[in-house]
Amino acid sequence: MKIKVIGVVGSPHRHGNTTQLMEFALKAAEEVGAQTELVHLLDYKFSPCVGHSVCKGACLIDDDMSKRITPKVVEADGIILGTPVYFGTMAAQLKAFIDRTRVIRHNNFQLANKAFGAIAVAGRRNGGQETTLLEMILAFMRHGVVIVNNGPGTSQFGGTVWAGPQGEAKEDFFGIETVQGVGRRVAEVAKIIKAGLNALNYKPLYEFSSTQGMYKDFEKKYKLAKSAEEIEKTLDTDLIKE
Ligand SMILES: Cc1cc2nc3c(=O)[nH]c(=O)nc-3n(C[C@H](O)[C@H](O)[C@H](O)COP(=O)(O)O)c2cc1C
């Protein structure tokens, strides 16, 4: 059984710290048997989301994100996001990529059950690596991915690296271990999930509904309701019954 892990790099530097670290992560994934691909966002021309909000079907923006990046993300069994820390969060390039993945979510959660890990590198030792990891993790939770940590070495939240003022992430040996841990765990969990899905011949039940969580949906479900107050009453009664 083949598994594929992709590493998406959101740094404006082609051979900078994030790229080098992603290479460490993907090498570790390969050691667990994954095929890998580094997707550097610099190699693609795409616009940030412009909010058409018509994400059912194909994205209305016909650019490299729709044509070249999205198919790679959908095809992968494991996904790693990597970014430099900018003001305690991810670089704008990576955020633009994340926003554009909405179309994948709105077409029945095609990233559900993929293994997911993240890597953040900052100039300072405590420069926002963990806040940045959390933001990537929270964004991708909306996709229904399975989030992994970086394994038994540190069992923390992902790859956290300190590049220092000269930007030498390669000298942060401990940080590199956390990154390798992410690569290994993403590949390992991707393999287990894929084997399980195949063995069960399981089709995920995730179905996208644009009215989910809206009163319209509740009305359908709780036919008695006519007004917001009545809906709330119905919900309360239902909860009590349960
Ligand atoms: C606009 C900008 C904002 C930054 N914000 C932070 C920050 O909040 N905390 C920090 O420790 N380093 C910060 N840095 C430093 C980068 O995170 C650091 O140099 C990183 O290693 C760059 O990775 P790269 O080589 O992949 O581009 C910032 C750098 C830039 C250019």
- What is the SS3 assignment for the chain? CCCEEEEEECCCCCCCHHHHHHHHHHHHHHHCCCEEEEEEHHHCCCCCCCCCCCCCCCCCCCCHHHHHHHHHHHHCCEEEEEEECECCECCHHHHHHHHHCHHHHCCCCCCCCCEEEEEEEECCCCCCHHHHHHHHHHHHHCCCCEECCCCCCCCCCCEEEECCCCCCHHHCHHHHHHHHHHHHHHHHHHHHHHHHHHHHCCCCCCCCCCCCCCHHHHHHHCCCCCCHHHHHHHHHHHHHHC
Assign 46 a pLDDT band (cuts: 50, 70, 90). very high
Distance (angstroms) between ligand 1 centre and the Cα of 24 equals 19
CB distance 163 to ligand 1 below 6 Å: yes
- Listed range (67-81, 117-131, 162-176, 215-229) with the worst mean pLDDT: 215-229
Assign 155 a pLDDT band (cuts: 50, 70, 90). confident
Assign 234 a pLDDT band (cuts: 50, 70, 90). low
pTM score above 0.75: yes
Distance (angstroms) between ligand 1 centre and the Cα of 138 equals 21
CB distance 87 to ligand 1 below 6 Å: yes
Distance (angstroms) between ligand 1 centre and the Cα of 134 equals 17
Q: What is residue 213's predicted lDDT score, i.e. its pLDDT?
A: 62
Q: What is residue 154's predicted lDDT score, i.e. its pLDDT?
A: 77
Per-residue pLDDT, averaged over 64-86, amounts to 98
